[in-house]
Amino acid sequence: MLTVLPVARAQQVIVQSLVMKPARKEPVSLQNAPGRVTAGDIFAPEELPSFPRSTMDGFAVRSEDTFGASEGLPALLNIKGNILMGKEPPGALAPGEAMSIPTGGMLPQGSDSVVMVEYCEQMGDSVAVLRPVAPLENTIQAGDDYKLGDLLLPSSRLIRPQDAGVMAALGLVKIEVAVRPRVVIFSTGDEVVPPQEIPQAGQVRDVNGFLLAAQVRENGGDAVYGGIIADRKESLLEALLQALAEADLVLVSGGSSVGTRDVAIEAINALPGAGVLFHGVAMRPGKPLLYGMSEGKPVFGLSGNPVSAMFGFILFVRPMLRMLCGLPPFSDFVPTIEAILETNIASNGGREDYVRVSLSFENGAGNIVRACPVFGGPGLLQTVVQGDGYFVIPRDVEGLTEGSIVKVTLF
């Protein structure tokens, strides 16, 4: 029997329904790696830095030669030579010797530290060191950042700019990443026409095909728009069968009426190895959500109502898409904005309420952010277009009063 599930339970069903397979891999160039997901642990193939470097302009010395040095009694060292950027030092450093070195320069053998130029006085071939330095001071030693074999990036990690940076530093110019999951998106409905057409009386343009494709791309999927399907079981079944042959995930949206919902249920139940796992989630907007599996591939039936479809994506499709991308379904760390609620809000007990708000910023004392609900049924796109984000009223809360602090997630 199909019942209306709480949000967390529905998410659990979705996450547990996927049998994780090893990620399909593809190599990408370093330049194309940011935004992709690692398909295997990446280890340091050499140490970083590969040689001891100075972090200051000054003189490379043996620290013991400077012990006890002071302005009154400087340590006098022979200048053995000048170290140039990008070059090997001109020889090793013997006791009582120093070499001038730029920031980033390579320390000579025998030297373990650098005296900052501010504490040196050069006089011809010698330098007076006015302060002692400790061993390793003003240097980075070979391997201080990464040692050979250190884990650079674990598998299943989103590659950020700095991650590309560290791979560049280590010469990793081809990276194995997870192949982007292929997501086929259908819109259904006898009333739906493509956006470039002028709808006849009773017809509407397809919104969800474009909305969902954009959400899929934003979350790392390869979105394929499958077009508009008529509200008949046979048409939908045929489209699903064709899509599932190549897709990793199929999204169908449309059909908020009982008749069309039944069409989607029947079509999904008719797929090979298929089953509708649940139908309906206790939330608003987004209640009519259909989830099923065909031979290990997930199929979502989202509301025809764009706002409901959008929240259905955020709450249920995205965790699945993240898993197919090789990521954990949910991020532990979801950044939010604290804001002061500007009005009272009632909520029906027994379901989660996703309240769309527009934010305003009050310059001045405390930089206060205010959240103003954008009222309007889930049939109105303006609630998400004029809205900046949303907050959740949990199932067991009947409403919130003006002045409450809410945590807003940006769209």
**194-200 long-range Cβ contacts below 8 angstroms, 24+ apart:** 194/227, 194/228
Q: Based on CB atoms, which residue is closest to its own copies, 13 or 166? A: 166
185: burial class by Cβ within 10 Å (0-12, 13-18, 19+)?
buried
* Region from 70-78, 292-300, 374-382, 396-404 binding its own copies, contact rule CB under 8 A: 374-382
Instruction: Tell me how far apart the alpha carbons of residues 158 and 160 are, in angstroms, rounded to a whole number.
Output: 6
Instruction: Tell me how far apart the alpha carbons of residues 362 and 367 are, in angstroms, rounded to a whole number.
Output: 6
- Taking residue 182's Cβ as centre, other Cβ atoms within 10 Å add up to 17
Instruction: Tell me how far apart the alpha carbons of residues 136 and 62 are, in angstroms, rounded to a whole number.
Output: 10
Structure tokens, 307:
């706002």
Q: Based on CB atoms, which residue is closest to its own copies, 76 or 337? A: 337
Smallest gap, in angstroms, from Cβ of residue 115 to its own copies? 15
| Residues 263-292: x where in contact with its own copies by CB under 8 A, - otherwise, as a string | ------------------------------
Q: Based on CB atoms, which residue is closest to its own copies, 297 or 390? A: 390
* Residue 360 vs residues 177, 353, 386: alpha-carbon distances, Å: 40, 21, 12
The one-letter amino acid at 12: Q
Question: What is the DSSP code (8-state) at residue 316?
Answer: I
Residues 385-404 touching its own copies, rule: CB under 8 A, are 385, 388
| Residues 311-350: x where in contact with its own copies by CB under 8 A, - otherwise, as a string | ---------------------xxxxxx-------------
Q: Based on CB atoms, which residue is closest to its own copies, 2 or 410? A: 410
> Does residue 30 touch its own copies according to CB under 8 A?
yes
Tokens 């081809």 sit at which residue? 174
> Does residue 41 touch its own copies according to CB under 8 A?
no
DSSP character string of 146-196? B-TT-EEE-SS-BPPHHHHHHHHHTT--EEEEEPPPEEEEEEE-TTEE-TT
Smallest gap, in angstroms, from Cβ of residue 291 to its own copies? 20
Contacts with its own copies: how many residues (CB under 8 A)? 102
Q: Based on CB atoms, which residue is closest to its own copies, 95 or 161? A: 161
| Residues 162-181: x where in contact with its own copies by CB under 8 A, - otherwise, as a string | xxxxxxxxxxxx--------
Smallest gap, in angstroms, from Cβ of residue 79 to its own copies? 17
Q: Figure out which of the listed residues 13, 15, 25, 34 binds its own copies, where binding follows CB under 8 A.
A: 34
Helix (H) / strand (E) element for 385: namely helix 382-385
Smallest gap, in angstroms, from Cβ of residue 22 to its own copies? 25
Tokens 């699903």 sit at which residue? 240
> Does residue 365 touch its own copies according to CB under 8 A?
no
Smallest gap, in angstroms, from Cβ of residue 404 to its own copies? 17
Tokens 């959400």 sit at which residue? 215
86 Cβ partners below 8 Å, 6+ apart?
none
Q: Is 337 in contact with 410 (CB distance < 8 Å)?
A: yes
> Does residue 137 touch its own copies according to CB under 8 A?
no
Q: Figure out which of the listed residues 79, 142, 179, 213 binds its own copies, where binding follows CB under 8 A.
A: 213
> Does residue 12 touch its own copies according to CB under 8 A?
no
Residues 239-268 touching its own copies, rule: CB under 8 A, are 256-260
Q: Figure out which of the listed residues 231, 248, 352, 353 binds its own copies, where binding follows CB under 8 A.
A: 231
Pairing of strands 297-302, 345-346: unpaired
Q: Is 269 in contact with 220 (CB distance < 8 Å)?
A: no
Residues 45-104 touching its own copies, rule: CB under 8 A, are 48-51, 53, 55, 57, 84-89, 102-104
> Does residue 352 touch its own copies according to CB under 8 A?
no
> Does residue 140 touch its own copies according to CB under 8 A?
yes
> Does residue 364 touch its own copies according to CB under 8 A?
no
Instruction: Tell me how far apart the alpha carbons of residues 219 and 158 are, in angstroms, rounded to a whole number.
Output: 11
